[in-house]
Structure 1
């Protein structure tokens, strides 16, 4: 088991779980753990970002690693530059978490780390107390990072749209680049969540607070609204009738479009075990095979890379377009969707109307003691519900890899059945939580 790394890098409260000392050691560890000689670093807009970023830079330079500082950029830009230039990358971000949290995502040639690579970094953090400076690595300005991303966007062959488009940048990392690109494509363009102050990232805005983009779509009578998270690697949408369109549905629209063009490799998409049973049936009806992985976009990417698929992601909005980039990219997905809507001459609602979703709910239980999931009473109740539902439902109970939460996901054919089983599981977990 990893000590510091969760499902998406190192993440936690500042300075309790994430601090300058850990950031410095991560930077220093890269030469030993990954063989790093050149590094690109970036950060989102939280107030703790600058200190952590420069701690990583200092640690890396202290062992002779040359570093390019890209400043405030979205995670996809760091991943792309890491891949295309064959360097390692570090992004200082806690994604959709509040500003009081921060984190460190590490990329090796554009890919998130393997478990073995994470353990090597953790071993260095815990077992290397010596601070010896040899030849300092150089430090460079990061303008190249943006230039490379704009070259990627050019590959989409976009054209201007008459659609009225709104975005919510969560006061986060992509607030400038999303405005720069979308304001040129859409004459009727509106943006919120674009005034970061270090503390307001994800605060009442972004993909975890869809009421903000929903209100914008309603007030401005928009055709579509997109909502990003703090580091810009996920996106959710709201259509012109104020329906929320999750990541699975967005993948459905894109995959069907690619299949029509003969560009969906192996006619397959990769989703996670969180995906609704209704969306899986919708893919099957279109002749598209679905592969399910464990929750986490790193597992989706592993499956994509292993078998050469075109697209995969999570219903939370992490969507990987592997022909372009090796990580989720909310802005890239938004741009492709706008192109699809114009090409198809249909609304997002029309393109998703045929999907009949089963009742599904996610219930979060806040706790730092995630071992309660191993309690025999909790295991017994979860297994009882699984036995009742069999193939007519889904039960997923897991500890979050990014927050102090236990997540309970249930899907059933009827809402009444869902409510009954959810109450049974949640009540037992809360009972054990209070007891231990």
Structure 2
């Protein structure tokens, strides 16, 4: 059965339209609450949000939904997604909710759900909740309606947990760090955690006004951070996204460092301490071939999944891995968090910078990425990937790149677009392969 509400990462959309209205949020609260009311204890849900204007509306609607089916609500205010996953476990809650559309503009919002173990819900749980959304809710008796309260120490709890992800001896004294919080959920906690460990912190994107989240700042718009790092003479720049589960780094020269390089560094450090589980790293099909070759040279493996941190996490749990992530900056350190956590990953990078005494430009470039090109082909309808001409073109390209590169062709899950990615040692060959496939898709569309 197809999904009507849940996508690859919860429910997301433009606020006050479609699935992202106050009435829908209330129905989600009622459905999810009813699904997780199990046993005879007082049931509890933790709700956090980022800094979007619509967060107030969505929070209030979710509170109404959960309390109406008898579930108590704990509200944290703006906090990163991984903080809500953490607090759900720590507070023995039955469910956690993060109101955020991650790196999307402020007009969008989303609802992410976590189970009592702090992990994102299984497909079965999401499908069961979807079925309940379409049904009339069973409301609690008047004397069993839930209560709601806001806790004031949530930020401190998360900061403490983040600092526990590095050794007690770790200090960042003498390190100048520019921290860009995207005017999002981590605007208070990320700079505080890094400052408390001794760094000289310069902040950016820490003045949210409800409409400026991810607007020219954060991990998806690092131009301002690159400039600021150089101007400040900083040792490194840290960029998070709107809900702070993603990290991109800028070295002291203003050069961007993506998730592949960060995974390489963290994997090497963990392997040196015999802390890396599973024999390697889990990443997606989009991670650069250079990362795979680098890990192999160090005796480690790279296992690939479909795009999406959810798929990475599923493979990590199934295979006993404790490190995984995406080129786009999702870093999952499973020993410390149940989802991607940009701040925890940043602390690992800063700790390595202090330990090695090398400039970031040297420390964070462990391998040379092979040339990689991604193009999107928009189509009006049909199934262009099923056309024999496209299949033959792809087969010819795979044969041409065999042993020298990789080809990834995938349809977008949210729009009529075919994504064509190729990488290999010969840049001209990569460009030619991508262009041929794009033309074949256009002709078949």
Q: Could you tell me the TM-score, scaled by structure 1's length?
A: 0.92
Where 1:111 maps in the other structure, the secondary structure is: coil
Structure 1: 5+ residue stretches without partners: none
Cα distance change on mapping 1:67 and 1:369 into 2, 3 Å = farther
Which residue among 85, 91, 108 is the counterpart of 1:85? 91
1:370 touches 1:399 (CA, 8 Å); kept in 2?
A: no
How many Å apart are 1:182 and its aligned residue? 2.2
Where 2:369 maps in the other structure, the secondary structure is: coil
Counting only pairs closer than 5 Å after superposition, residues 369-408 of structure 1 correspond to structure 2 as 373=385, 378-401=390-413, 406-408=418-420
How many Å apart are 1:330 and its aligned residue? 0.7
Cα deviation 1:279-330 (Å, max 9, x = unaligned)? 1100111112222111111111112222322211111100011111111111
1:297 touches 1:313 (CA, 8 Å); kept in 2?
A: yes
Counting only pairs closer than 5 Å after superposition, residues 207-218 of structure 1 correspond to structure 2 as 207-218=219-230
1:381 touches 1:428 (CA, 8 Å); kept in 2?
A: yes
Cα deviation 1:212-235 (Å, max 9, x = unaligned)? 211111211221111111100000
Cα distance change on mapping 1:366 and 1:139 into 2, 3 Å = farther
Correspondence for 1:361? 373
Instruction: State the alpha-carbon separation in 2 of the partners of residues 143 and 13 from structure 1.
Output: 30
Which residue among 102, 108, 111 is the counterpart of 1:95? 102
1:165 touches 1:186 (CA, 8 Å); kept in 2?
A: no
Compare the two structures and name the one with the higher helix fraction: 1
Instruction: State the alpha-carbon separation in 1 of the partners of residues 377 and 222 from structure 2.
Output: 21
1:370 touches 1:406 (CA, 8 Å); kept in 2?
A: no
Correspondence for 1:111? 119
Correspondence for 1:19? 21
2:85 touches 2:119 (CA, 8 Å); kept in 1?
A: yes
Cα distance change on mapping 1:376 and 1:55 into 2, 3 Å = farther
Cα distance change on mapping 1:229 and 1:402 into 2, 3 Å = farther
Correspondence for 2:61? 55
Cα distance change on mapping 1:369 and 1:159 into 2, 3 Å = farther
Q: Could you tell me the TM-score, scaled by structure 2's length?
A: 0.90
Instruction: State the alpha-carbon separation in 2 of the partners of residues 7 and 254 from structure 1.
Output: 26
* Segment of structure 1 superposing worse, 115-124 or 370-379: 370-379
Instruction: State the alpha-carbon separation in 2 of the partners of residues 430 and 231 from structure 1.
Output: 36
Correspondence for 2:302? 290
Is it true that 1:124 corresponds to 2:126 in the alignment?
Answer: no
Correspondence for 1:30? 32
2:49 touches 2:55 (CA, 8 Å); kept in 1?
A: yes
Counting only pairs closer than 5 Å after superposition, residues 162-177 of structure 1 correspond to structure 2 as 162-177=174-189
Where 2:402 maps in the other structure, the secondary structure is: helix
Correspondence for 1:137? 146
Cα distance change on mapping 1:231 and 1:399 into 2, 3 Å = farther
* Segment of structure 1 superposing worse, 255-264 or 303-312: 303-312
Is it true that 1:74 corresponds to 2:80 in the alignment?
Answer: yes
2:100 touches 2:109 (CA, 8 Å); kept in 1?
A: yes
Which residue among 161, 168, 187 is the counterpart of 1:152? 161
2:37 touches 2:71 (CA, 8 Å); kept in 1?
A: no
Instruction: State the alpha-carbon separation in 2 of the partners of residues 377 and 432 from structure 1.
Output: 8
Cα distance change on mapping 1:2 and 1:197 into 2, 3 Å = same
Where 2:221 maps in the other structure, the secondary structure is: coil
Cα distance change on mapping 1:374 and 1:3 into 2, 3 Å = farther
Is it true that 1:228 corresponds to 2:240 in the alignment?
Answer: yes
Instruction: State the alpha-carbon separation in 1 of the partners of residues 76 and 124 from structure 2.
Output: 27
Aligned residues: 432
Where 2:316 maps in the other structure, the secondary structure is: helix
Correspondence for 2:437? 425
Instruction: State the alpha-carbon separation in 2 of the partners of residues 411 and 249 from structure 1.
Output: 16
Cα distance change on mapping 1:122 and 1:251 into 2, 3 Å = same
Is it true that 1:2 corresponds to 2:11 in the alignment?
Answer: no
